[in-house]
Amino acid sequence: MNIKKILASVMTSVMVLGLFGCSSKSEDTSKVRIGFFSNITHAQALVGMNNGEFQKAIGDKYSISWKLFNAGPDELQSLLAGSIDIGYIGPGPALNGYINSKGAIQIIAGASSAGAVLVAAKDSSIKNVKDLSGKKVAIPQFGNTQDLSLRALLKENGLKEKTSGGTVDIVQAENSLIKTLISQHKIDAALVPEPWGSRLEKEAGAKVVVDYKDVWRGGNYSVAVVVVRKDFMEKHPDVVENFLKAHVKMSDYISSNPEKAKTEINKELDKLTKKPLKKDVLDKAFTRLVITNYPIQDSITEMAAISKGIGFIREEPDLTNLYNLDTLNKVVKEKQ
């Protein structure tokens, strides 16, 4: 399928969901439904799931239902359909969802920055970005943060993807499948979030072509943020505040106790995927990640420009109400 048709399909589904999804009448008001990925870029979610801090913070009135996703666009559709209330998600999908739904979701916190690498097959001749010409490169999903980062890298190096008249073939594949694809020479390279980059190094012998600091902005870019449906925030501000209390607590805990946090993350990954990470893989993945409470707004503004340039966004976006950080500011201030 032509990439422009894929992009148009994604945009259409997002707009439809944005207009009609958030009024879902099937919402279970006894549950708080939270989306996340099994990536360490969503470390607060993984640790807080394992130790029960989110449920403790939210209290007995509500039970938390955790929803696992592979990539941002799928999670975004669930958010806008009213199937989940709060989500750990990449800033690219968060941005596109906010714009195309006319503000149905908002960013209420940051989660992590950097945390992604470009790797190539171990026997590949690829040594730099320019060598991607004529090659097939995988990202987790069209429109996600790694997709936008890859396209920014290509542009910086004078390259374009094939359907825009360029020479780089961009394909989407679930993170869990990329190892098989790169090992079987069905793709030449991949831009993936951690821990998948470190796993590909260890398990498939992949080599790092662009490390996390060089993917974009010297590593100073949001790779995961927290979003909420605006209508859920308006109906349940106390729930969102308590959620953010747990989120900030988990950020502090991970930063202060990295070894304990890594153990808890691995326990949760074992539950979710039945494949806990080797210690050296987890250690390396953590060296590429910065845990944050606040989104890096400049980087997200730049993502908006990239999205517009490749057709995800058709008009100059108004980001005036993209962020709703008042509750986060309150939580952080009270904690000091």
CATH code, 326:
3.40.190.10
- In this predicted structure, what is the pLDDT of residue 29? 74
Helix intervals (H) in 21-144:
43-51, 53-58, 72-80, 91-100
- In this predicted structure, what is the pLDDT of residue 176? 86
The answer on 246 and 215 residing in a single domain is no
Q: Enter the pTM of the model.
A: 0.87
| Sequential DSSP letters for 238-254 | HHHHHHHHHHHHHHHHH
Q: What phi-psi label fits residue 59: left (phi over 0), alpha (psi between -120 and 50 degrees) or beta?
A: left
- In this predicted structure, what is the pLDDT of residue 229? 98
Classified as helix, coil or strand, 332 is: helix
The type of residue at 66 is W
The answer on 318 and 229 residing in a single domain is yes
Per residue in 60-95, pLDDT tens?
A: 999 999 999 988 888 999 999 999 999 999 998 999
The answer on 300 and 276 residing in a single domain is yes
Tell me how many domains the chain contains: 2
- In this predicted structure, what is the pLDDT of residue 314? 77
Domain end position, chosen among 183, 203, 219: 219
Residue 296 φ/ψ, nearest 5 degrees: -90, 95
Q: Tens place of pLDDT for every residue, the chain, 336 residues?
A: 344 444 444 444 444 344 434 444 445 678 999 999 998 999 999 999 999 999 999 999 999 999 999 888 889 999 999 999 999 999 989 998 999 899 999 999 999 999 999 999 999 999 999 999 999 999 998 888 899 899 989 999 999 999 889 999 999 999 889 999 999 999 999 999 999 999 999 999 999 999 999 998 889 999 999 999 999 999 999 999 999 999 999 999 999 999 999 999 999 999 998 889 999 999 999 999 999 999 999 999 988 888 887 777 777 888 999 999 999 999 999 988
Which domain covers residue 195, as residue numbers?
A: 116-219
- In this predicted structure, what is the pLDDT of residue 28? 62
Is residue 229 a contact partner of residue 83, using CB atoms and an 8 Å limit? no
- In this predicted structure, what is the pLDDT of residue 10? 46
CB count, 10 Å around CB of 301?
13
- Looking only at the bridges linking them, the beta strands covering 31-37 and 86-89 are parallel
Domain end position, chosen among 197, 219, 241: 219
- In this predicted structure, what is the pLDDT of residue 163? 85
- In this predicted structure, what is the pLDDT of residue 23? 44
Domain end position, chosen among 175, 191, 219: 219
**Residue 242 half-sphere exposure toward CB, CA atoms < 13 A:** 17
The answer on 92 and 195 residing in a single domain is no
Distance CA 153, CA 227 (A): 26
Distance CA 315, CA 328 (A): 30
- In this predicted structure, what is the pLDDT of residue 20? 39
